[in-house]
Amino acid sequence: DAGITQSPRHKVTETGTPVTLRCHQTENHRYMYWYRQDPGHGLRLIHYSYGVKDTDKGEVSDGYSVSRSKTEDFLLTLESATSSQTSVYFCAISGTGERTDTQYFGPGTRLTVL
């Protein structure tokens, strides 16, 4: 299994509070991704990174920001959490960017915004 950890694994927070989720990899992979999983939608890409300090938006990026100051860490921040951001969040990594490259997923973080 790819060495990907996510923290925290579970979090309950209140509307309007900031939340940061962390993804950590030990594989030295270049690409990292944040997805959210919701019933009826499968997984949707929030943001991704193709290198240190290089990030870009996915299809559902509103209300989220990311940072990547080191190869191994990719942070997802909800500046002011809303109930619509209650979801399961998955981090993924992939290698050198070949079009056939495979993404490996972390165990997920279940976030509940009250």
Partner 1 sequence: GDSVTQMEGPVTLSEEAFLTINCTYTATGYPSLFWYVQYPGEGLQLLLKATKADDKGSNKGFEATYRKETTSFHLEKGSVQVSDSAVYFCAEVRRNTDKLIFGTGTRLQVFP
Task: List residues near partner 1 by CB under 8 A.
Answer: 31, 33, 40-45, 48, 50, 58, 90, 92, 94, 97, 99-108
Least distance from C-beta 38 to partner 1, angstroms? 10
**Closest CB to partner 1 among residues 54, 79:** 54
Query: Sign of dihedral through CA atoms 26, 76, 91, 95?
Result: negative
Least distance from C-beta 8 to partner 1, angstroms? 15
- Residues 111 and 101 sit within 8 Å (Cβ to Cβ): no
**Closest CB to partner 1 among residues 13, 103:** 103
Helix then strand count (H, E) for the chain reads 0, 11
Query: Sign of dihedral through CA atoms 60, 62, 70, 19?
Result: negative
Least distance from C-beta 60 to partner 1, angstroms? 12
